[in-house]
Structure 1
Amino acid sequence: MNSKLRRLLVRLYFLTTGLGLSLLLSGTLLVMRSSAEVTSSIPTTNLNGAPVPDWGKITFDSLPGIGSSGSFQANSQIIEQLGYDPSRQWTQGQKPSRFLSLGDFQDTFKLQNFDLDQIAKVSGIDTLSASLDQFGVMSRQTLDSLTKAVPNLGDFPIEQVLPIKDLITQSVGSFDATKTLNQLLAQSPQLGDISLANLDLSQYNVADIPNLEITQLGAFKDWQAVKIQDIPGLAKVPFNNFPDSPQTIGQTVGTVDVVFGAAEQKRDRSISGSTNVGFGVPCDKGCGHIELSGGTVLGRQWDSGKYQEVKGGQGVLGAVNGGKEPTGRHPFGEAFKVVIWDVSETQGTASMAMFFRICSRGAVDLGCTPYFLGPVPLMTFHEGDPIFLGKVTNEKSSNPSTPTSIA
């Protein structure tokens, strides 16, 4: 049976049975809208007639919580290569700022280019008064790494830098605090290995260390491992204020014509996939999707990542999650992936979500995992709604996507 005809019969069935039940219960005829407005979990704006995220009003703190729990456990070889443990776990409902790290966005948002002074100006948070234990890079520093990171810190007399003075006193007892930090480390280089984690950092503020607020995050040792929430004010910075903010890729807008459930099979006009295999990956079975109309995308489908996976990731970390990620698109760049998730054939609705990845591209480049940290809800579309697609091409992959366990 033609899929659109079957779809129409299903809708007529639910309409008539639902209408009969409604009349039985209330005696009132309910008039259904032919096309509902897009509902959103985030602030949106309009682009070419379609709703898109309003990055000027979206922060990591304002994003919805993740829809499922998960974890990533690094092996001992990875931990040894990096010098720190990039493992993490996340629980359903948790904000992305609690499980995403600075290093995950090294090549995209480039959050490492921020300093606390810049963050304060765009977030409205007084970062100078934040305690040092709230500044996640500090517990990872030694005297040597801190001196190298903070501009001119080594030129200050130690007696003028209370946390450093207390740390050295705690470690070696009495010493000449009128010396600069550079002078002391030149005289006793072994002191450079003293870790700031040995100090009760909650007793000091950012303002207690000269120039700390103007030090780029990327100058600190092991900055890649620090969570977004552990940088004062960063989770409240609007995305469009990031050093490399999200940009639209392409201009194509289509219309959600029909929403199909996972019973669909043999669909070969896809616009979804991954950067690894392209964005024309066909589907053999379990092909829940939205069928599009309008211009160059008439009859094309965007498959649901809830039911279909594709190859993703790069480097050593590309093997995580079996090397698979939900099929989807990148209309706003590669910091995250946009995925069609829940599809309801009876209601004619489809939800859109974000998926994130874990990256480690420091001196030891381990690449990135597939985009498997999600879903983080974005919007829900109804049949007849406009939808922003980004750059759509006629590319087509020869290998189909892989059905998930629930397809």
Structure 2
Amino acid sequence: MDISAGDTAWVLISAALVLLMTPGLAFFYGGMVRAKSVLNMIMMSIVTMGVVGVLWVLVGFSLVFGDSIGGVIGNPFDFPGLVALLDEGAVVDTIPTLAFVGFQAAFAVIAVALVSGAVADRMRFSAWIVFAALWALLVYFPAAHWVFAFDGSVSEHGGFIANTIGALDFAGGTAIHINAGAAALALCLVLGPRLGFRASPMRPHNLPFVMLGAALLWFGWFGFNAGSALGANQTAAFAYVNTIAAPAAGMLAWLVVERLRDGRPTSLGAASGIVAGLVGITPAADSVTPLGALVIGILSGVGASLAIGLKNRLGYDDSLDVVGVHLVAGLIGTLSIGLLADPAAPAGEAGLLFGGGLGLLGAEALSAGAVLGYSFVMTSIIALVLKGVMGGRLRVSSHDESRGIDVAEHAETSYDFSLLPYSKQHVKSSIVVPATAETKEEVSQ
């Protein structure tokens, strides 16, 4: 098949947009933690770009899109180091395979980075790096193979969810959001709650960061969803509009819940509602109409806003609500396909409300359950093994957690509140006077 310059350009742009989502996530998460933890939170996302990027080139793409071994995992020896894909004739649909490699690499990065929000303030940076590498290899790459590897796309045989169960997941509701949400729950249970959880206020330290992060995520999500069409075509346009509709409705729905429940809508709620709507529409972007996208956005916004209160009642410390937003909204979006899929949408499937029966809903539920269960169990095993092997190195000490993980893990602080040089006389004074050349000389003496 001939390569389309337009399709290739759109996929390359989309790959860049999706990659931008990880720094966006860093700001989104970074703003929600306390000031003493923001650098560590941002670094957990940024270092994931390095860890997963290297693994993707070495073996990740092969594990996801290599010829399937029993529908469970790709052959790691098909594309190691991507050497076999350097031929100009290697194509996926109408784009070079290497463009597809770059696009999927950005998906892998943000899937792993999402999990970090559940363990803010307390996980050692070195432990996170090891966990991120193992989780990518043992959890994300297999799940992505199940969902994204279609027979005949890159290799002859693909994963069992895409080809045997036949579930629809356009851009990763199961492989990314349900997967990350289940992993977040398992990891925070193994790690334990933060000091002062449910006893001390742990408010976001920088809401403008949160809003900036949400804006970058929404911007990048157009590449996430519309780019998954792998071409500049009607499906991409459909997904693009749905990626406007669902987060808009999700934001408004979250604000309404806050107004009714708490008396005031908040900027944190608006940002969270946007993300919930984006998560909800991700698996369904090509299977529902824009009206269906509005419904999914509303359900995701309401469902996620109510779900985040569970951590206080059940006692698990999901610091930044990865479970409440990504797992819950991911489940809502995935299951909604079985109800709201419209034959008029590009996927051409009919959900229960459009006369399609229970078959599609059952396939969506089975795929969601398979990924959720595998991710939770395997993440628990990884975390427990690391806890046993690393001992006390999995979590920072109580002293370091109290004084701030930024200083303890990175020897840095996010905000420098130190004063300009002042004379001893001025420091003692209740009136702060900026230092002059004379006072600077006095201090130096």
- TM-score above 0.5: no
Q: Which has the larger Rg?
A: 1
Q: Which category of TM-score, normalised to the shorter sequence, fits these structures?
A: under 0.3
**TM-score normalised by L of structure 1:** 0.22
Which has more strand, going by share of residues?
Answer: 1
